[in-house]
């Protein structure tokens, strides 16, 4: 059991919880994710890690309820417990593999959209702790939906933009990036995390600008273990699974249109049957459980996870 030490709402319909999970806090790196279960028979919910404190043995998760399980999870409060937390899972961000010297040579821009701001934070914080103050854009629809402003402003050069101009600059994150470049900023590495449509358009723009770009395909995950096949992607024409090969990929290589279409199909039983017909075994094959029955066990699970 994992105790919730604090729970609050940084914005309407966005929930933040600090949870006692010393083993995960000890081992997790920026870019990795967790599987959370509220109760014994509960659904497995993949969530990105927003922060961790190795000394206190805590992790912070931020999520937006999108289905029954995350809605139930949002009702948990300080002192309540999660039944299970599995992680850290997935590959850490490539940036964590570079030396401090290599990192200091890079001009990095992080682009965070909406709830996707949460998984960007551990990366900018990690860089700051390694002597690099990166630039970051937080984009939100309106002022009320901007999250983690204080936390970001302590560890990076922060630019905020809102779609309606109610706070910071006006317009979407792509306009903000274009404006920063017109104002004389230059970048040689971009990390974009947010809604798929945002990551698609950021990647199209940075391809034009010649800036290598990493995106996080966390939104397509369902069980997070390589078993269900939900997170199957085409990256540079090759089949990849977000949960075992990612979640971070080269944004210029990801086929976003296929991923968004596939995600819609995966939500219905009929769509999953059609995907199975088209693709055969849809899961990654790395799960150690490659049988029809393994796939069938997952058939009842609809898309639930977020953040
Ligand atoms: P949102 O729709 O409010 O968008 C956030 C920002 O993204 C916007 O303010 C805008 O600046 C930018 N954006 C949106 N559409 C764009 C476009 N067409 N072109 C350029 N920029 C665009 O975001 P939200 O409702 O908070 O986000 C929820 C989504 O975030 C969910 O779909 C969830 O799956 C995703 N998410 C992704 C990750 C990840 O790891 N990639 C993590 C958490 C959440
Ligand atoms: Fe990757 Fe299920 S989420 S295979």
The preferred substitution site among 224, 240, 276 for testing ligand 2, maximizing ligand atoms within 8 Å of CB, is: 224
Give the confidence band of 284 by pLDDT, cuts at 50, 70, 90.
low
Q: Which ligand is nearest to the CA of 218?
A: 1
Q: What does the pLDDT look like over 60-86, one tens digit per residue? A: 999 999 888 889 999 999 999 999 999
Contact, 151 vs 121, CB < 8 A? Answer: yes
pLDDT band per the 50, 70, 90 thresholds, residue 95: very high
- Edge to edge, the sheet with strand 45-48 lists 45-48, 33-37, 84-89
Instruction: Identify which ligand lies nearest to the alpha carbon of 168.
Output: 1
CA of 109 to the centre of ligand 2 (A): 29
Kindly identify the ligand whose nearest atom is closest to the C-alpha of 144: 1
CA of 19 to the centre of ligand 1 (A): 25
- Point out the ligand 1 atom lying closest to the alpha carbon of residue 247: 40
Question: Per the structure block, which two tokens stand in for 107?
Answer: 């001009």
Q: Is 105 exposed, middle or buried (0-12, 13-18, 19+ CB in 10 A)?
A: exposed
Average pLDDT over residues 165-170: 97
Ligand that comes closest to the CA of residue 295 = 2
Which pLDDT score, from 0 to 100, does residue 265 have? Answer: 76
Listed in sequence order, the DSSP H helices in the chain are 22-27, 68-74, 100-105, 117-129, 149-153, 173-182, 196-209, 242-245, 256-266, 269-279, 292-298
Stated pTM of the model: 0.90
CA of 199 to the centre of ligand 1 (A): 8
* pLDDT band per the 50, 70, 90 thresholds, residue 307: very low
What pLDDT was estimated at residue 293? 36
Report the chain's mean pLDDT, rounded to a whole number. 88
Atom of ligand 2 lying closest to residue 228 CA? 2
* CA 18 to ligand 2 center in whole angstroms: 26
pLDDT of residue 288: 39
- 38-43: Cβ within 8 A, 24+ apart: 38/69, 38/72, 38/73, 38/76, 38/82, 38/83, 39/83, 40/83, 42/69, 42/72, 42/83, 43/68, 43/69, 43/301, 43/304
Tokens 């289905």, located at residue: 67
pLDDT value at 238 more than 70: yes
Ligand 1 midpoint to CA 85 (Å):
25
Cα(112) to centroid(ligand 1), Å:
8
First vs last C-alpha separation in the chain = 22
> Is the pLDDT reported for residue 300 higher than 70?
no
């Amino acid at each position: 059991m994992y105790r919730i030490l604090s729970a609050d709402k940084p914005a309407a319909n966005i929930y933040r919880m600090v949870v006692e999970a010393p083993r995960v806090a000890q081992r997790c790196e920026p870019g990795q994710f967790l599987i959370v279960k509220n109760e014994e028979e509960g659904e497995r919910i993949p969530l990105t890690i927003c922060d961790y404190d190795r000394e206190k043995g805590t992790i912070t998760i931020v999520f937006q309820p999108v289905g029954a399980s995350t809605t139930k999870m949002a009702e948990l409060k300080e002192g309540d417990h999660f039944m299970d937390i599995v992680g850290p899972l997935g590959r850490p961000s490539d940036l964590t593999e570079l030396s401090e010297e290599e990192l200091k040579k890079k001009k990095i821009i992080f682009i965070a959209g909406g709830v996707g701001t949460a998984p960007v934070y551990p990366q900018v914080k990690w860089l700051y702790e390694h002597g690099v103050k990166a630039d970051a854009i937080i984009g939100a629809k309106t002022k009320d939906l901007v999250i983690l402003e204080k936390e970001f402003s302590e560890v990076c050069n922060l630019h905020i933009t809102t779609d309606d101009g109610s706070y910071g600059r006006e317009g979407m994150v792509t306009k903000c990036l274009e404006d920063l470049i017109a104002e004389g900023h230059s970048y040689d590495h971009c990390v974009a995390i947010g809604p798929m449509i945002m990551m698609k358009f950021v990647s199209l723009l940075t391809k034009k600008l010649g800036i290598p770009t990493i995106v996080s395909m966390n939104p397509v995950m369902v069980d997070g273990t390589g078993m269900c096949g939900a997170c199957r992607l085409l990256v540079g024409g090759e089949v990849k699974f977000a949960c075992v090969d990612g979640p971070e990929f080269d944004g210029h290589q990801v086929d976003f249109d296929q991923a968004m279409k596939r995600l819609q199909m995966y939500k219905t039983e009929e769509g999953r049957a059609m995907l199975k017909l088209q693709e055969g075994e849809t899961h990654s094959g790395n799960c150690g459980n490659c049988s029809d029955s393994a796939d069938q066990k997952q058939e009842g699970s609809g898309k639930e996870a977020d953040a």
